[in-house]
Amino acid sequence: SAVISQKPSRDICQRGTSLTIQCQVDSQVTMMFWYRQQPGQSLTLIATANQGSEATYESGFVIDKFPISRPNLTFSTLTVSNMSPEDSSIYLCSAEGGQETSFNEQFFGPGTRLTVL
Amino acid sequence: GNSVTQMEGPVTLSEEAFLTINCTYTATGYPSLFWYVQYPGEGLQLLLKATKADDKGSNKGFEATYRKETTSFHLEKGSVQVSDSAVYFCALLTDSWGKLQFGAGTQVVVTP
């Protein structure tokens, strides 16, 4: 299985600031995704991070608020912009489709726990 | 649209008890089905999966069978341990490479 790391693991931020979360996979993967898990709730897909092109966002999520980069097949970043307390969540990165992953299996990073004051 | 419905938690059990977590789904086509587990303070781990009807996924003593006729994928374990305390998520995937649709999650608490 692929090993996925995220940085930072947690952060406390002030309202109106931005935070960039990094996701690193230990092998090349075809697909990378970003999810949000609000307190006590399930996971919601924010977007698919596409290598070499703009991310594909799900309904309710926009690029201005959650810009995403994917410069290569092992790395992606998610920025949470102009934060408000409602953005307090765990943000998780996942990956699928590499030599170290099986078809149809997504592997997840440990998550970044964000608190906005 | 696609959706996943799980039984609400928390589910509290004594060690060595039998665990069942119900999961039903609505989807077009023939989805793949998954159970993920999230231990306290950690990210999600894939527990098991089934990609077609009547497939049985199993791992770490957990089992789930893909029942197309009842659109269900219930998770079972015959004898739980305290270390099984976690939140369990049922999920489905309809695209070949695509987004997972998660259920709300079920918290399981196993007491000694």
Residues of B in contact with A73 (CB under 8 A): none
**Cα A3 to Cα A11, A93, A96, B80, distances in angstroms:** 22, 11, 11, 27
| DSSP per position, B4-20 | EEE--S-EEEETT--EE
| Backbone φ, ψ for residue B83 (5° rounding) | -70, -10
For residue B41, what pLDDT band results from cuts at 50, 70 and 90?
confident
Express each pLDDT in A56-81 by its tens digit: 999 999 999 999 999 999 999 999 99
Q: Is A30's CB within 8 Å of B100's CB?
A: no
Do the chains contact at A43 and B49, CB–CB below 8 Å?
no
Does A102 score more than 70 pLDDT? no
In angstroms, the CA B83 to CA B90 distance is 19
In whole angstroms, what is the distance from residue A57 CA to residue A53 CA? 12
Strands B62-65 and A75-80: unpaired
The conformation of residue A87, written as its DSSP 8-state character, comes to: G
Residue B80: the pLDDT is: 97
Report the percent of chain B where pLDDT is more than 90. 75
Residue A103 has pLDDT above 70, yes or no: no
Partner-chain residue, chosen from A30, A92, A97, that has the shortest CB–CB distance to B44:
A92
Per-residue model confidence (pLDDT) at position B97 = 60
Q: Considering CB atoms only, which of A43, A97, A105 is closest to B46?
A: A105
Q: Is the pLDDT of residue A101 over 60?
A: no
